[in-house]
Structure 1
Amino acid sequence: MPKVTFLPEGKSAEVHRGSSILDAAEQAGVELAHNCGGVAACTTCHVWIEAGLDSLSEIEDREDDKLNEAAGLAPNSRLGCQACVADEDVVVRIPGNRIAS
């Protein structure tokens, strides 16, 4: 199973193929905001993928449209509720201070 690691905390979780970054965050005990309930209607679960970007599902139009509204948009930006893990490990950075303790 692939492992998803969250920075800056360093917490990680092994997840099943097809799990979203949001699911992995919940499994790892990392609180990743998702105000819309994980349906790509907001950008609160915006993350930067530090490693393993090619192992994630492709960006669909709805996610791409929403990402354009995200603060701190970067080439490695994804919505945690929409990006699903394939077979490789992934390292995720949560921008700013959006990790709840």
Structure 2
Amino acid sequence: MTQIIVLPHVELCPDGSVIEARPGQTVCESLLENGIDIEHACEMSCACTTCHVIVREGFNALEAASDDEEDLLDKAWGLEPQSRLSCQVHVGETPLVVEIPRYTINMAREGKH
């Protein structure tokens, strides 16, 4: 099992959390299995940005983002160089520290103004 430290989030995880994840599963799956209800409007199909996280530690050990993920991340609120879609990040052997941004944008719903 690999440790994921989740930094405090006002609504989803006010005190932060330390969870154990199975290598190979996604960060999104790991969060959900451990009671952290991160949004995932597209059901983890890499079609929105609601599961956006910022990987504060362990980023360099992750697989590179796909072109589709990179294109979506360009639309994410609070984009940072270590931003990833948690539904696309597979847990490896390296522990991670992740931050869930305070806000999300559901481009499928909110992007058509």
Fold similarity call, TM over 0.5 = yes
Task: Supply the RMSD in Å over aligned alpha carbons.
Answer: 1.3
Q: Is the 8 A contact 1:2 1:89 kept in 2?
A: yes
Task: Indicate the structure with greater strand content.
Answer: 1
Detail structure 1 runs of 4+ shifted over 3 Å in the superposition.
none
> With CA pairs under 8 Å and 6+ residues apart, which has the higher RCO, 1 or 2?
1
* 2: CA distance, partners of 1:23 / 1:13: 12
Q: Which deviations, in whole Å up to 9, do the C-alpha atoms of 1:7-44 show, x marking residues without a partner?
A: 11321221111111101101221110000101110000
2:109 pairs with 1:82: no
Identity of aligned residues (%): 37
* 1: CA distance, partners of 2:60 / 2:92: 9
Q: Name the structure 2 match of 1:28.
A: 34
* 2: CA distance, partners of 1:97 / 1:42: 14
SS across alignment from 2:28: helix
Gaps spanning 5+ residues in structure 2: where?
A: 9-14, 105-113
AA aligned opposite 1:7: L
Residue correspondences, number: 98
- TM-score norm. by structure 2 comes to 0.80
Gaps spanning 5+ residues in structure 1: where?
A: none
- TM-score norm. by structure 1 comes to 0.89
Q: Is the 8 A contact 1:53 1:76 kept in 2?
A: yes
